[in-house]
Amino acid sequence: GTKDRSADARNPNAHTIEILQKMCDYYARVNDTWRTLAYRKAIATLRRQPTRITTEDEAFRLPNIGRRLAAKIEEIACTNRLRRLEYANDEPLDRILELFLNVYDVGLSRANKWIAQGYRTLDDLRLKADLTPNQRIGVDHYDDLNSRIPRAEVAALFAYVRREAALLDPRVELLVGGSYRRGAESSGDVDIIVTRKGTSSSAELVPFLEELIAVLTRKGFLVATLAALHAQRPGKDGPGSKWHGCCVWRRIDFLLVPESEYGAALIYFTGNDIFNRSMRLLASKKGMRLNQRGLYKEVMRGKNRGKVTEGELLEGRDEKRIFELLGVKWREPWERWC
């Protein structure tokens, strides 16, 4: 999720941001990635403004806001609405598309197929559609899985997990990453990073997490598995050792991280995703490569551009050191909204 909306309430441009965010969601839905990105960047810029932006010229002078978006900002400020958004959302089918796209594990083509098959409601899906096990969870717990989790509840869920974890292995360290670490007032899910001093591979933590998941499931805390735990292949930059599921119908993710990769994983799992993308881009401009396992000296590429080596590891364990090596000023987690 990329819906860092809760921090906006006190912002002088809150209303404009809210409407631009809806437009952004609309473009994401119709797969217009270019406009989606443009809107996200503009929203990030507006979030940083200490005063209300009301005119096109004022908006256009800000970074990452083009002429047409600036005009829309003025329209919202003057009329309190955006005509483009209103006709985008008028379509009844568009509303159903949005309903279906909010089912866990459903993408645009799946949602469109269901509409073409004549399905219009969640009950249609429940009774008639051919659902994967994850999609069925998504339909059955639609409202819960689509509501944001208040910050205090994230803290309470985490406290419970940490207590059980400590009983299994007191050396294990847990931390909530994601939007919670960025200071959000509410989160889409609970992202838990798991590490232990002295580990150099996430495989060393797999038995612990298997046990933790078994205990939490037995106690009724974890109620569904969405992506089962799998070990990270050594030396590969794959998905990492992670587990996705639900606790009492809140989304919860675990990411296993060896101490040697802790800093890089913290950066990755704290986000947000646009911030991560810009850090990776910066690394590649400087002849380095950043992923969730570490910062590397640029990879050598062979004739067919295949990777010849992983590249020399410059830093993995220390978050601040990675910023330093990249030559960027340290940013606290709550300053990483973009």
Stated as kind and residue range, the H or E segment containing 33 is helix 33-47
Site for Mg ion in 188-217 (CB under 5 A): 189, 191
Nearer to ligand DCP, 59 or 178 (CB): 178
Rounded to whole angstroms, the Cα distance separating 171 from 168 reads 9
Q: Is 261 in the site for ligand DCP (CB under 6 A)?
A: no
CB of 285 to Mn ion, least distance (A): 28
Q: Is 189 in the site for Mn ion (CB under 5 A)?
A: yes
E strands of 222-278, at which residues?
222-227, 241-247, 250-256
Contact 103, 142 (CB under 8 A): yes
Query: Which three-class secondary structure string do you get for 4-21?
Result: CCHHHCCCCCHHHHHHHH
Rounded to whole angstroms, the Cα distance separating 10 from 213 reads 38
Rounded to whole angstroms, the Cα distance separating 81 from 84 reads 9
Q: Is 178 in the site for Mg ion (CB under 5 A)?
A: yes
| Nearest residue relative to Mg ion (C-beta) | 178
Rounded to whole angstroms, the Cα distance separating 265 from 204 reads 16
Instruction: List the one residue from 25, 56, 74, 191 that touches ligand DCP (CB under 6 A).
Output: 191
Interface region with ligand DCP, contact rule CB under 6 A, candidates 46-54, 120-128, 153-161, 264-272: 264-272
Instruction: List the one residue from 138, 263, 271, 294 that touches ligand DCP (CB under 6 A).
Output: 271
Compose the 253-282 pattern: x for residues touching Mn ion by CB under 5 A, - for all others.
x-----------------------------
Rounded to whole angstroms, the Cα distance separating 140 from 143 reads 9
Interface region with ligand DCP, contact rule CB under 6 A, candidates 62-70, 183-191, 211-219, 259-267: 183-191
Catalytic residues: 72
CB of 177 to ligand DCP, least distance (A): 6
What does the binding site for Mn ion look like in residue numbers (CB under 5 A)?
189, 191, 253
